[in-house]
Structure 1
Amino acid sequence: MNMLFIWTLSPQQRKDWSLHREWRSIRFSQKFGNVYMISKANMVTYRGPTMVSNTLHACAILLKRRKDWDWFINLSASDYPLVTQDDLIYTFSTINRNLNFIEHTSQLGWKAEKRGMPLIVDPGLYSTIKADIYGATPLRSLPTAFKLFTGSAWMVLTRPFVEYLIWGWDNLPRTLLMYYTNFISSPEGYFHTVICNVPEFAQTAVSHDLHYIAWDNPPKQHPHILTINDTNEMIASGAAFARKFKHDDPVLDKIDKDLLRRKNGSFTPGGWCSGSPKCSEVGNLDNIKPGPGASRLKDLISRVALLTNLKQNQCK
């Protein structure tokens, strides 16, 4: 299974990531020939629909650049891997490639009033100067033409579903995109509402984002910051990624050492390593050496996919 990476970092994000420990890995990984950096980034407004438009932009470039990929995974600078790339590639090469991992629910709770009914305007849609979203009046009623879903903004989407989002042959993705243009925190609803209102794709939706995230109950706007005290829970979750972390928190060093087998100043080792104990050279890209992380991730996917097969955790 091939992996293709598209990076759509805004100028501010590039500044933040220059301090991030993964930035060197991103620059080095361009040697693999499957990494593309979008140099002219679009404006992104926190909680605004420009976050969705940037994600769809990355999806469109993936479809244009290459055809031999199976899943789209969106990540941010606040995410950190709990498995190696070899673990990830190996695990996903063994599972049903029609599964979309997107945590979702139709139980909107407080989000119905606080997210679904307010009307907002995102200045990032028309301005080159960064500014926060602002509200408009009056409030609107909830839609009756489609059912709203919400969930995690982090997801793993299949190529067929990505194609549907971009090409939208029955126009639903475009209709919902216009609706979510005035929706607070639209990344937590747009993709979920699209997939769950299309029977063809609803049956492929697995309600899990493959992340370890520590939320309040009920969830607030932001999750808890993870620390070294959360390590055991992160490992036990079997998740592929975790978030959020403070810059250079000691827990990241522990993840590097215990889970990624990554030494100081080196890259996460994989079967491709050649010529140096620090993996400074690219060898055989087809050589995959999965570790314990692959077993943890595969167990998690097996559990959540089983619930989907039993129709217990699917677009409800």
Structure 2
Amino acid sequence: MRQRRISPCLAATALSAALLLLILLHASSSPPLLLWPSSAAPAPPPRAERGPGRPPSFAYWISGTGRDARRVLRLLRAVYHPRNRYLLHLDAGAGDGEREALAAAVRGEEPAWREFRNVDVVGGAYAVDRTGSSALAAVLHGAAVLLKMGPHWDWLVTLSAEDYPLVTQDDLLYAFSSVPRDLNFIDHTSDLGWKAHERFEKIIVDPSLYMDKNTELFLSKGTRQMPDAFQIFTGSPWLILSRSFTEHCVHGLDNLPRKLLMYFANTAYSMESYFQTLICNSSDFRNTTVNADLRYFIWDDPPGLDPLVLNESNFQNMVNSSAAFARRFVEDAPVLKKMDDELLNRSPVQLVPGVWCPNLAKEQSGVNMESCLKWGDINAVRPGRAGERLRRFISKIIETRGCS
């Protein structure tokens, strides 16, 4: 009997899917290859208390590429709180020297990072193309590591070096204190429009899954039918996921997470579809979905592949949006200083003041304090008007849940 030959494109497609699945299985079953933690420090003085009546905790996945280390550190300072967990990642576009400098800064620049030991840097470099499935593999890897390293956080937040917060962590923790902790904030729609053909019928291969350097994806000559075993949803790639749903994505006992992972391995912009499709096809989770990502951004008309770069002319609209984060920003944009001054009450080199650190933003001997030197109550938050506004907004949008 004659054996059928497999075309090179089909073989590459199968390889992409298999590699993506192997990445997830490796991340969920074994420790990360290398981390630079702040774990050599002594045990933190105050202990975060969990449970009813206490604020929640967030796990932040903050990603960047070459020459993004300074931006990642600035963003880290802007979203830092001792109750949270942080994992920083620079992809293969960054050199080893930049990655080591980021790790050294995490170890040495802020006493709070050393004492609370809640900031880590992924030490191994791997390639990522944000338009391909390697970006999805990176987020799933970060989620798996954060699940292993932090047993008590409630929500996973994905950010990039182009993002910045519109509220303090005291505001965010306060706003989420009354939110059921199984809810997921995922922008989604089943109205695929032009994406049905351009994204899901076309087959792409992402070489960044198997190359050492960030590599652009390529398009296969073949096409495929739209699936009938599940319904595709799409939306924003920026997410706030509950711990229970994150565990389902990484360790799910049914086969749907892995089946979809194989399918989206060969889909362009899979970060805009994988989590949406998984949650909306999961009977245990679809009614925990809130159709919002709590981000502020502006699309051009007609929309391009990226939202517009924000500047000072967008400041008031950002404030009025009731969003928690905004994007995109260029490095050291003047609007970031305005956000630091007027929204976060910090200098670009400070952590954000809160109940947990009473000396920040206060003068001692006529000098503004730039580091936290004395711990306050890390189990209490003091929200401002932005926190109240965000809490009202979230209380309203969580009334409607599910997928349509």
CA distance 1:213–1:35, shift in 2 (3 Å): same
> The residue matched to 2:228 in structure 1 has which SS?
coil
Q: If you compute each CA radius of gyration, which structure gives the higher value, 1 or 2?
A: 2
Equivalent residue for 1:293, pick from 367, 370, 386: 386
Answering whether residue 101 of structure 2 is matched by residue 18 of structure 1, we say no
CA 1:54/1:286 → structure 2, altered by over 3 Å: closer, same or farther?
same
**Alpha-carbon distance between aligned partners in 2 of 1:232 and 1:55, rounded to the nearest angstrom:** 31
Alignment of 1:206-285 (within 5 A): 206-216=290-300, 219-263=303-347, 265-275=349-359, 277=362, 278-281=369-372, 282-284=374-376, 285=378
Between 1:277-286 and 1:150-159, the stretch displaced more is 277-286
- Answering whether residue 157 of structure 2 is matched by residue 103 of structure 1, we say no
Residue of structure 1 in register with 2:57 after alignment = 3
Q: Distance in 2 between matches of 1:137 and 1:163?
A: 36
1:30 aligns with 2:113: yes
2:201 matches 1:124: no
Q: C-alpha offsets along residues 160-212 of structure 1, whole Å, 9 cap, x if unaligned?
A: 10111011211100000000000000000000000000121110100000001
Paired residue secondary structure (2:330): coil
- TM-score norm. by structure 1 comes to 0.91
Q: 1:105-159: per-residue Cα shift (whole Å, max 9, x none)?
A: 0001111111111111111111113210001121111111100000000010001
* Change beyond 3 A, Cα 1:306–1:5: closer
Contact 2:208 2:214 in 1 (8 A): yes
Gaps of at least 5 residues in structure 2 are: 1-54, 81-105, 363-368
Cα deviation, residue 270, structure 1: 1.2
Task: Give the CA deviation at 1:30.
Answer: 2.3
Question: For 1:33-63, what per-residue CA distance to the aligned partner results, in whole angstroms no more than 9, with x for missing partners?
Answer: 2222211132111201011111111111121
2: CA distance between counterparts of 1:78 and 1:274? 29
1:152 aligned residue (210, 222, 236):
236
Q: Distance in 1 between matches of 2:225 and 2:182?
A: 34
Which one is further off, 152-161 or 247-256?
247-256
Q: 2:41 — aligned with what? A: none
Alpha-carbon offset, residue 265 of structure 1: 3.7
- Structure-2 residue corresponding to 1:180: 264
Distance 1:201 1:245 in 2: 33
Q: What are the Cα deviations for residues 204-231 of structure 1, in whole angstroms up to 9, with x where unaligned?
A: 1000000011124664311111111111
Q: Could you state the TM-score of these two structures normalised by the residue count of structure 2?
A: 0.72
Letter in 1 for 2:203: L
Structure 1 stretch 95-104 or stretch 37-46: which is displaced more? 37-46
Q: CA deviation at 1:264?
A: 5.2
- Does structure 2 retain, via aligned residues, the 8 Å contact 1:7–1:36? no
What letter matches 2:69 in structure 1?
Answer: W
Unaligned runs of 5+ in 1: 309-313
Q: How many residues align?
A: 309
What one-letter code is carried by the residue in structure 2 that aligns with 1:22?
R
1:8 offset after TM fit, Å?
6.2
Q: 1:89 aligns with which of 164, 173, 190?
A: 173
The letter of the residue matching 2:263 is: Y
SS in 2 for 1:104: coil
CA contact (8 A) 2:61 2:159 kept: no
Q: Tell me the residue number matched to 1:311.
A: none
Aligned to 2:278: 194
Task: From the superposition, tell whether residues 39 and 3 of structure 1 become closer, same or farther in structure 2 (CA, over 3 Å).
Answer: farther
